[in-house]
Amino acid sequence: MGRHASGPAQPARPPRDRAASAASVWLQRVALGAVAGAAIWLVLRWAGVGDRTALVGAAGAAVVVVVSAAVAATLPSPHRDDEDDEDD
């Protein structure tokens, strides 16, 4: 086993656990979008923007945040190569 060898294979989780985990992740994304939307709505209302315009802007921001979080979850984690960290 070299340094790049993976550990023992993990047993498959039951479908119910996977569904609960996926639901939890999506709930967190939606909650983040709701907080972002509320913050944008408050800022726009404070700035004197009309009700409907502020609501549309807040909804747009919330959608962008949720979609961005979903897209970011598809990216691989950053790979650190220990040999590149050497300072000469």
Q: Is 29 in contact with 70 (CB distance < 8 Å)?
A: yes
pLDDT of residue 7: 64
Most confident of 3-7, 51-55, 83-87: 51-55
In angstroms, the Cα distances linking 81 to 2, 4, 86 are 15, 11, 10
In a domain, 62, yes or no: yes
The whole-number pLDDT of residue 86 equals: 54
Phi, psi of 82 (to 5 degrees): -60, -30
Task: Give the Å distances, CA to CA, from 33 to 5, 24, 42, 67, 69.
Answer: 39, 14, 14, 9, 9
Measured from the Cβ of residue 44, the count of other Cβ atoms closer than 10 Å reads 19
- Domain membership of residue 32 (yes or no) is yes
pLDDT in tens, 38-67: 999 999 999 999 999 999 999 999 999 999
pLDDT classification of 87: cutoffs 50, 70, 90: low
Say if 38 falls within a structural domain: yes
Q: Is residue 11 part of a domain?
A: no
Give me the domain span that covers residue 49: 25-73
Per-residue pLDDT band for 77 (boundaries 50, 70, 90) equals confident
Q: Say if 54 falls within a structural domain.
A: yes
Note whether residue 3 is domain-resident: no
